[in-house]
Structure 1
Amino acid sequence: MSQSTQLPKTSQLNEFSTLELAQALMERLSISPDDWHRLKSNRNSRANEQIAAAVVYLLKNQPQEALARLEQAVGWLDRSISAPPCPSHGEHKK
């Protein structure tokens, strides 16, 4: 791909703030309810989701919230945490 093809994308991205770009990335990496069962135990997907959220919190000057998300991401990557059971299981038997 030539640089001239990439320039419009770069100039379009310059129209957004860093926070807006981080929020867009967070939305893109968030696991949707439709994909939850398929990806709830996917360690890379879960870490991606948490790291993107951490960047958003850092940009909002909320380091404690960012740290909590980073710790979650590390837990996914080092396998020290696992997905909890789906909260909707068992509710149909009321």
Structure 2
Amino acid sequence: MLQPTKLDRKSSLSEFSTQELAQALLERLSISPDEWHKLKSNRKARANEQAAAAIVFLLKDQPEEALPRLQQAVGWLDRSISAPPCPTHGHNQ
């Protein structure tokens, strides 16, 4: 199987808008419900997810939505925040 070259990948990426690329990055970095327990305390994963979301909002000219996500990303990195408990545990159903 042939591997795409850097030039091929760059040409392929140019077909997408910056917003589409940012959205794809966010989708790639978002923690799925299936991964929640494994990654809920992973500071790098959580910061990546929040920073990618902030970029999407900045590109949509929504800085008021981007700022809290950037603050969350910083909080994960500087350890000023930690993971909340799992939303499905400890609740009466």
Residue of structure 2 in register with 1:41 after alignment: 41
1:52-75 deviations in Å (ceiling 9; x for gaps): 000000000000111110000000
Output the aligned Cα RMSD. Answer: 1.3
Normalised to the residue count of structure 1, the TM-score between the two structures is 0.91
* Amino acid aligned to 1:42: N
Whole-angstrom CA distance in 1 between matches of 2:87 and 2:59:
31
Residue of structure 1 in register with 2:73 after alignment: 73
Following superposition, the deviation at residue 6 of structure 1 comes to: 1.1
Residue of structure 2 in register with 1:64 after alignment: 64
Residue of structure 2 in register with 1:6 after alignment: 6
Whole-angstrom CA distance in 2 between matches of 1:32 and 1:18:
23
Whole-angstrom CA distance in 1 between matches of 2:5 and 2:48:
28
Number of positions where the alignment pairs a residue of Structure 1 with one of Structure 2: 90
Whole-angstrom CA distance in 1 between matches of 2:66 and 2:51:
8
**Unaligned ranges ≥5, structure 2:** none
Normalised to the residue count of structure 2, the TM-score between the two structures is 0.92
Following superposition, the deviation at residue 87 of structure 1 comes to: 1.1
**Unaligned ranges ≥5, structure 1:** none
Structure that is richer in helix per residue: 1
Whole-angstrom CA distance in 1 between matches of 2:6 and 2:84:
42
1:9-62 deviations in Å (ceiling 9; x for gaps): 100000000000000000000001111000000000000000000000000000
Moved >3 Å (runs of 4+)? none
Residue of structure 2 in register with 1:28 after alignment: 28
1:18 aligns with 2:15: no
Following superposition, the deviation at residue 90 of structure 1 comes to: 2.4
